[in-house]
Chain A
């Protein structure tokens, strides 16, 4: 052992994969997966001691750059650095090709679903989805039926959470089509990674993630009202189309990201109080007087967007915004009412949507889900709560869920009561053995479970960011990867097609 407590050994010398789990790098102890050998060799060479040095360098880089998220329950009202692990999560070109096609297919189907349920409702008429389930969703906004956003695009930005099953197959765990966050960390992680491990980068063909802000900007601009009819959009600096990012403000946990994206897109970051609506048009309060806004990339939930429409008692939001949207004078990205599409009780039907709208089979599978509004499913779930994961249908961020296998008696009793009182409010799934990857834990590498949130942008066409946010459960035996619950992140490397 050295003074710093880390031996001078090849990086992976002591690594043991987790039994019964798919390991992202190793087929068996000491036996790398064939498409990972090159990456492993490059990392291995650094050695453990050098690796720890680089890990510390990375940590301080995040702190100095102020790449943080805000934590509500922190007494210092503080910002925290999202813990970052320097071992990348690597996806081969072949695997990614399938993921990319599968994501595009899924987002397209979800978008068609939204256009349908806020329009003719064919899918309900043909009884592919139970009408009660869809129209009773808390995310469904009946009053907006008949309002079609420009170009028919509802989901400009999607974050689809994937996991890997023990067999190595990618599965969709959750759709996020309201205001998914995390993409700023993808870009920041990459920046730090390049500084910390330049030699490893040089040896591999890792696909760049830097295009995201410019593709997002193009996506927003081409979704402007009237944009679909006009054809090409002029370059942004002389574009008459004006877009802003709308944030709840600096106390929001994702504020850093809102600011980051506005900065990288070269557009302004507005608070609701910076906007007002007159004559069903949206204006920004500027030093040069009011300026009309055409596209709002909003990172505020539906319910806080417009007090006139949602909550007359609220002072938050922009009064009249929904009327401007309904009049077709402003594009909201994402559109209003998307919550019905990522309602977890609707999730089990997404494969049916894909078949119904696209006449295709789903390219990516998903996790078996118990629909608790069905009597036999509910009974099964109530009898097996200690084996299942239970989630609120409109929840996110890892809040309001039950991890049956690790829950206490009282937590199980609590959820039993919740399920019996409101079965439509929850779904249940078997706990999937999420795949694991080597992760630096203080002084050694250990397997930790992880998921992947790729980002999908849709304007006139659909684009998938190569990679995404890999979130890792830093605690041993944990399955929960959310940043609010002790999760960290890794850089995600999608390898380019081999250059032979």
Chain B
């Protein structure tokens, strides 16, 4: 498939995942904060920090506005200057889909387009004002519907593989960031094993949509150690870092087979190294060396894999060598080729 199209596929699902995640964070945080155990003055800060939006929020809304539900939720949901607001994510998802209409199924396009028409309608505004939890639930349902329709209407081939790859890498990133922020809020490594803050651990599980799964796995109260291990490397929890990376690896293997790669790409090697590390590491050692350091490594690996994906598939700089018989004529053509990468750069932005 066309590299540029693969790139759009990759981003389409990342944006959908971001919209879903943002709606979940907003709705869950809203509920968590109703419980008495929590510090209310900075109630929205962790969520804003997870999304990487601290600086912009403080500039646009104010340092002292983290306690204000309306300000924070407006920012997370509607703010067009916030690139990860639900509105922005769905906008960019639709823009990517618009450039993929010949690739995605008609139902996928219509689902997303209808969702966008709704989000920008008065009806959506009304629901946001009158029944906020229903509003966020609807956003999450739309995202789930889109994923389900994609799965049931697209060929399970390269384009869908790139989409899912974008989704699982985004998920791994989100989980790691959530863990990292919460961990900081609890004051770093010393407090990790302190059970008295179990409400905090429960809320972390909730934010990751992991509460039910965790209880099925452990049938015991969440401790920092259990929660960290679960979110980091439970083999079956769909948002655990290890599970997401393992799915990414499977998808990349399929893509490499479809594109007839002779040797493993840098993307795949990078991912496999991280997976091996996550599987082998003892959780005590990880916690001892520092959960923050481990999570930083996860986040950086995710970014590195994305860089490699660019070079390996999505935006290859150089085309492979021409066939030998073409070499004699190549000299004359040299000028021709050197012109194309620059034109590509300027257009891909458009």
Mark A residues whose CB is within 8 Å of B.
Answer: 63-66, 245, 249-251, 256, 259-260, 262-263, 268-274, 276-280, 283-290, 307-308, 315-320
Contact = CB atoms under 8 A, between A and B. Distances in A.
Interface residues on B, range: 35 or more
A260 B313 contact: no
Given A66-B110, A286-B3, A250 B258 contact: no
Given A66-B98, A274-B3, 9 more contacts: A64-B114, A260-B101, A260-B102, A263-B101, A278-B326, A278-B330, A287-B1, A288-B258, A307-B343
Contacts of A263: 101-103
A272 B347 CA distance: 9
A290 B320 contact: yes
Contacts of B344: 273
The 7 closest A-B pairs by CB, nearest first: A263-B102, A288-B259, A273-B344, A262-B102, A320-B336, A273-B347, A279-B326
A250 B348 CA distance: 11
A284 B343 contact: no
A478 B138 CA distance: 45
20 contacts: A64-B117, A66-B98, A251-B350, A256-B101, A259-B99, A263-B102, A268-B102, A271-B4, A271-B347, A274-B3, A274-B4, A276-B319, A283-B319, A285-B316, A286-B1, A286-B259, A289-B316, A290-B319, A315-B346, A317-B343
Given A66-B110, A251-B350, A288 B260 contact: yes
A278 B322 CA distance: 8
Given A64-B113, A278-B319, A278-B333, A268 B5 contact: yes
Given A285-B3, A286-B3, A277 B158 contact: no
B110 A65 contact: yes
Given A260-B101, A278-B319, A319 B336 contact: yes
Which applies to chain A's interface (DSSP): helix, strand, loop or mixed? mixed
B110 A64 contact: yes
Given A64-B110, A259-B102, A286 B2 contact: yes
A319 B347 CA distance: 14
Contacts of B316: 285, 289
Contact of B2 (A280, A285, A308): A285
B60 interface: no
A273 B343 contact: yes
B342 interface: yes
B339 interface: yes
B257 to A, nearest CB: 10
Contacts, number: 120
B343 A316 contact: yes
Given A249-B347, A249-B350, A250-B98, A268 B2 contact: yes
Contacts of B110: 64-66
Contact of B4 (A65, A245, A273, A308): A273
Q: Which of A270, A280, A285 has the most CB of B within 10 A?
A: A285
A271 B2 CA distance: 10
Interface in B70-95: 95
A279 B350 contact: no
Nearest to B336: A320
Contact of B336 (A278, A284, A286, A289): A278
Nearest to B158: A287
Contact of A279 (B4, B99, B330): B330
Nearest to B323: A279
B194 interface: no
Nearest to B328: A279
Interface string B151-172: 0000000100000000000000
A65 B116 CA distance: 12
Interface in B312-350: 313-314, 316, 319-320, 322, 326, 329-330, 333, 336-337, 339-340, 342-344, 346-348, 350
A273 B348 contact: yes
A319 B343 CA distance: 10
Contacts of B326: 278-279
Nearest to A281: B326
A300 B322 CA distance: 28
Contacts of A315: 342-343, 346-347
Nearest to A63: B117
B6 interface: yes
Contact of A276 (B2, B98, B337, B346): B337
Contacts of B19: none
Contact of A278 (B99, B158, B260, B337): B337
Nearest to A263: B102
A284 B2 contact: yes
B337 to A, nearest CB: 6
Interface string B98-142: 110111001001100110010000000000000000000000000
A287 B329 contact: no
Contacts of B259: 286-289
B321 to A, nearest CB: 10
Nearest to B114: A64
B256 to A, nearest CB: 10
A274 B330 CA distance: 20
Nearest to B346: A315
B87 to A, nearest CB: 14
B340 to A, nearest CB: 5
A212 B336 CA distance: 36
Nearest to A270: B2
A271 B100 CA distance: 12
Contacts of B117: 63-64
Contacts of B6: 287
A245 B101 CA distance: 13
Contacts of A66: 98, 101, 109-110, 113
B255 interface: yes
Nearest to B118: A64
A375 B319 CA distance: 57
Contacts of A276: 319, 336-337, 340
Nearest to A279: B326
Contacts of B340: 273, 276, 318-319
A316 B350 CA distance: 12
Interface in B154-194: 158
A234 B6 CA distance: 28
Nearest to A306: B336
A272 B5 CA distance: 13
Nearest to B99: A250
A263 B102 CA distance: 4
A325 to B, nearest CB: 14
Contacts of A288: 258-260
Contacts of B255: 287
Nearest to A245: B102
Nearest to B348: A273
B11 to A, nearest CB: 14
Contacts of A318: 340
A254 B309 CA distance: 31
Contacts of A268: 1-2, 5, 102
A254 B217 CA distance: 54
Contacts of B330: 278-279
A272 B101 CA distance: 18
A262 B99 CA distance: 12
Given A288-B258, A307-B339, A279 B322 contact: yes
Given A278-B322, A286-B2, A287-B6, A308 B350 contact: no
Contacts of B319: 276, 278, 283, 285, 289-290
Q: Which of B6, B340, B342 has the most CB of A within 10 A?
A: B340
